[in-house]
Amino acid sequence: MKANFVNDSKSVPPGVVINQSPARLGIYIGSPSIAVLPNGEYVASHDYFRHTGSGKSLQNEMVVFGSDDQGATWQKRSELKGFWQNLFVHERNLYLMGLTKEYGHVIIRRSIDGGLTWTEPMDRTTGVLLDNMQYHTAPVPVCVHNGRIWRAMEAAENCAEWAKACSAFVMSARLDMDLLHADNWTITNRIRCDLSWLNGDFGGWLEGNVVVAADGSLVNILRVDLPQLPEKVAIMTINPTKMQADFDPKTGFIDFPGGAKKFSIRFDSQTNAYWALVNPCMAHGIDLEPIAIRNTLALSRSKDLRAWQVRAILLEHPDVYRHAFQYADWLFDGDDIIAVVRTAYDDNEGGANSAHNANYLTFHRFRNFRKLS
């Protein structure tokens, strides 16, 4: 199947366009994710969302694309029901893990043919992992540590409150177990937000990254909603033996450029450093809070997960209101970084609805990332 769009715009966004949804449709592109199959093919996915007057998304549809030429061209492979899901490869099989819908149940699917066909979550033995309440997540990385796979998740006790209602926790399963069987997964305790944190400016947390710290411990690093700069993230500690999550608000908040928006952190053994693609606030004197400023995509690095430095600007546009390079999901590919990005940009129909409501899914290769500065 070929990609389901024709882009004849005179103003093509940077990168390779994988998919496009013009603003006139009122349906926007969200939740990019990328994986590399054992045979070297790339696979990318995203969901669709749209907003009603109440601000609620009505979508639970997503699409999977594949590329057999290292991202130069893309073809549609499958369409699925689901939301806020991420791709990853385990034991040579491809997986999608996320929710049934916005604030839905936690599910996981498996594909043995590179994303052309998928298992269907029907019950606790076929991919329905958590169905006792509403949940929130995003295409966040999975982490392998001490023979187990780890992934961050949030319980959403009142979805109308968005990040304020998110109780953060981590899920885990042994690598040699069937990931589609709910009984093979264990979860930590849930830690709920306290809106008195950060002198009462704390607006909630969400979209955590499970990361192995330099000392071998496990942490969950969460996006934090703050109305002003500097942007911050929250670092939650995880005891993998006791499956215990802990957070100390006195030491757990750190400065992190782009921390008000979704990010993904990965460790590079060659540099012995952690890397992230982030949306730092580079614009000044505008009437937007940090959460809304997504017109710059940057490469950031840290040696210890606590002190972060923006190394290079990768993508940018001077307009903050209808242009964005956001929700980047990415992987190391030799000396390069490959990424898929939820992009709001000009097209031949008037451009994106807003910076948030993106009209493109784009693929990018950032070459020799370790030398960028």
The closest alpha carbon to 143, from 232, 233, 240, belongs to 240
Tell which residue, 18, 140, 20, has the closest CA to residue 87.
140
What mean pLDDT do residues 95-121 have? 97
Amino acid 9: pLDDT: 44
Cα(274)–Cα(260) distance, integer angstroms = 19
Say yes or no to pLDDT of 221 above 50: yes
Domain range for residue 106?
16-371
- Is the predicted pLDDT of residue 4 greater than 50, yes or no? no
In a domain, 339, yes or no: yes
pLDDT greater than 70 at residue 212: yes
**C-beta of residue 127 within 8 angstroms of C-beta of residue 109:** yes
Flag whether pLDDT at 347 surpasses 60. Answer: yes
Q: What is the mean pLDDT of residues 359-366?
A: 98
Domain assignment present for 149: yes
Residue 207 lies in a domain: yes
Does 315 or 51 have the greater pLDDT score? 315
Region 144-163: mean pLDDT is 92
- pLDDT reported for residue 229: 95
Evaluate whether residue 38 is within a structural domain.
yes
Mean pLDDT of 282-304: 92
**Cβ atoms of 245 and 220 closer than 8 Å:** yes
pTM of the model: 0.94
**Has residue 334 been placed in a domain?**
yes
Query: In 10 A of CB 70, how many CB atoms?
Result: 15
For residue 259, which of 198, 207, 318 has the smallest C-alpha distance?
Answer: 207
* Helices and strands (H, E) in the chain, number of each type: 0, 27
Per-residue pLDDT at 5: 38
Residue 160 has pLDDT above 60, yes or no: yes
Amino acid at residue number 358: A
What percent of the chain lies above the pLDDT cut of 90?
90
- Tell me the average pLDDT across 150-165: 90
Q: What is the CA radius of gyration of the chain?
A: 19
Within-domain flag for 321:
yes
DSSP-derived secondary structure for 92-112:
TEEEEEEESSTT--EEEEEES
pLDDT band at 3 (very low <50, low <70, confident <90, very high): very low
Which amino acid does the sequence have at 47? D
* Mean of pLDDT values over 202-229: 97
pLDDT in tens, 20-33: 999 999 999 999 99
97 contacts: CB under 8 Å, gap ≥ 6: 85, 86, 88, 106, 107, 108, 109, 142, 151
Flag whether 3 is in a domain: no
Number of domains, the chain: 1
Domain-embedded: residue 10: no
CATH number at 59 reads 2.120.10.10
